């Protein structure tokens, strides 16, 4: 098996999603499939074939992926990746797919779905322990109910805790990284706890490396008045409902806000008159210009990518700014696309 580093970078974008996949020949594929079946059976992990990114991501586009493996506990997930790695099986973690645009090609690797990791929350004083597959909005609501503050602004971000940790999700002045006491990751087949202070929590980016599997976290929240927390949570939610599309097929904000610009990316795209611009099944949301939404059964990842690149070109022309992708672009190609 040849090992290839896949780095996805669109045009001049600085956003880069790198992963190490193994390019497999037909013979290798048969051996790999047998290895996956054996590991899944031994560890009692659900293993499915024939799934498509169009069913696995919130944009509802993207091609087929060879396997979807769904462990149902942190321990099982840690054992699973260790066994896959021993057998050189290429894998990528995926939560609810709410920040991923996977291309339309056939993706020859295994998705390790974290949606099964949603054990009950464990509260102790101001701390809460949560698994990676737990819904972020549900966590926010449960914390608020107990008078715990620090993540109420994140309510309404449609994703899992694992995804939120991976990219340091934030909204309305809060970011999850600021309240992380420890993170649980898979190492050597086991669940290992590392201090949150060892991680760099940056704007929609962390120092976690591709290949690291996040299993859960313990958050240290602040004590507050449940009514006041609930009021702040409601305010953030209604602000979000008023300014962002909901119920639409999107991946949240498509681009980061540019640090050097006083104008947000949404405003910039809006000022260019691009709201409602449509390419195939992808449209710049009429509600918030930094959202690309897809519509219809024949929408393709390529439509969203073409529209995104058109936006980047217009912003570059008008403002001289290279927008960085906020969504992760997942390539099916076993070659460096830089």
Residue ranges that bind ligand EPU, judged by CB under 6 A: 171-172, 243, 252-253, 256-257, 264-267, 270, 288-290, 326
CB 191 within 8 A of CB 184: yes
DSSP-assigned states of every residue in 55-89: HHSTT----EEEEEEE-SSHHHHHHHHHHHHHTT-
Residue located via tokens 């699973």 = 80
Shortest separation between residue 287's beta carbon and ligand EPU, angstroms: 7
Output 149 or 290, the one with its CB closest to ligand EPU: 290
Tokens of 86: 């021993």
Q: Select 163 or 196, whichever has its Cβ closest to ligand EPU.
A: 163
For residue 173, the minimal CB distance to ligand EPU (Å) is: 7
Output the smallest distance, CB 129 to ligand EPU, in A. 25
Residue nearest to ligand EPU (CB): 252
CB 70 within 8 A of CB 88: no
Smallest distance from ligand EPU to CB 62, Å:
18
Pick between residue 136 and residue 183 the one whose CB is nearest to ligand EPU: 136
Paired residues of 65 in beta bridges: 51, 107
Distance of alpha carbon 41 from the chain centroid: 28
Q: Shortest approach of ligand EPU to residue 265 CB, angstroms?
A: 6
CB-wise, 40 or 323, nearer to ligand EPU? 323
Q: Are 89 and 82 in contact (CB under 8 A)?
A: no
Distance CA 27, CA 132 (A): 35
Q: Give min distance, CB of 231 to ligand EPU, in A.
A: 17
Of the pair 118, 256, the CB lying nearest ligand EPU is at 256
Least Å distance, CB 99 to ligand EPU, is: 7
Q: Is 114 within 8 Å of 77 (Cβ atoms)?
A: yes
Q: Identify the CA nearest to 8 among candidates 322, 328, 250.
A: 328
Q: How far apart are CA 324 and CA 240, in angstroms?
A: 22
Minimum gap (Å) between residue 243 Cβ and ligand EPU: 5
In angstroms, how far is CA 95 from the centroid of its own chain? 6
Min CB(140)–ligand EPU separation in Å:
13
Nearer to ligand EPU (CB atom), residue 191 or residue 311: 311
**Among 251, 221, 239, residue whose Cα is nearest residue 159:** 251
Q: 174-179: which pairs have CB atoms within 8 A and are 24 or more residues apart?
A: 174/150, 175/201, 176/151, 176/201, 176/219, 177/201, 177/206, 178/150, 179/150, 179/151, 179/219, 179/220, 179/221
Is-contact 40 56, C-beta < 8 A? no
Q: Which is closer to ligand EPU, CB of 264 or CB of 334? A: 264
- Structure-token pair, residue 195: 């201090």
- Residue closer to ligand EPU by CB (options 181, 271) is 271
**Beta carbon nearer to ligand EPU, 127 or 240:** 240
């Amino acid at each position: 098996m040849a090992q290839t580093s896949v780095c996805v970078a669109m045009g001049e974008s600085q956003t880069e999603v790198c992963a190490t996949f193994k390019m497999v020949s037909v013979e290798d594929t048969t051996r790999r499939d047998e290895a996956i079946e054996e590991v899944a059976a031994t560890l009692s992990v659900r293993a499915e074939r024939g799934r498509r990114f169009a069913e696995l991501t919130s944009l509802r586009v993207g091609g087929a992926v060879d396997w979807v493996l769904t462990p149902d506990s942190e321990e099982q997930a840690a054992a699973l990746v260790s066994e896959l790695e021993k057998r050189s099986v290429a894998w990528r973690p995926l939560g609810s797919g709410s920040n991923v645009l996977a291309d339309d090609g056939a993706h020859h690797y295994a998705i390790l779905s974290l949606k099964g990791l949603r054990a009950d929350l464990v509260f102790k004083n101001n701390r809460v322990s949560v698994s990676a597959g737990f819904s972020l909005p549900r966590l926010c609501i449960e914390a608020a109910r107990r008078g715990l503050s620090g993540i109420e602004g994140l309510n309404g971000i449609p994703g899992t805790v694992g995804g939120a940790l991976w990219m340091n999700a934030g909204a309305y002045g809060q970011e999850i990284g600021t309240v992380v006491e420890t993170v649980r990751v898979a190492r050597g087949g086991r669940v290992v706890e590392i201090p949150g202070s060892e991680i760099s929590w940056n704007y929609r980016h962390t120092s976690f490396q591709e290949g690291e599997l996040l299993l859960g976290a313990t958050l240290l929240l602040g004590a507050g008045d449940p009514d006041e927390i609930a009021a702040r949570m409601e305010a953030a939610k209604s602000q979000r409902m008023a300014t962002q599309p909901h119920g639409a097929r999107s991946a949240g904000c498509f681009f980061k806000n540019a640090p050097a610009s006083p104008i947000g990316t949404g405003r910039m795209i809006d000022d260019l008159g691009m709201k409602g611009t449509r390419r195939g099944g992808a449209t710049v949301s009429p509600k918030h210009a930094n959202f690309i939404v897809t519509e219809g059964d024949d929408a393709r990842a390529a439509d969203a990518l073409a529209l995104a690149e058109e936006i980047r070109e217009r912003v570059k022309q008008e403002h001289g700014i290279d927008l960085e992708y906020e969504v992760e672009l997942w390539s099916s190609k076993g070659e460096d696309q830089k």
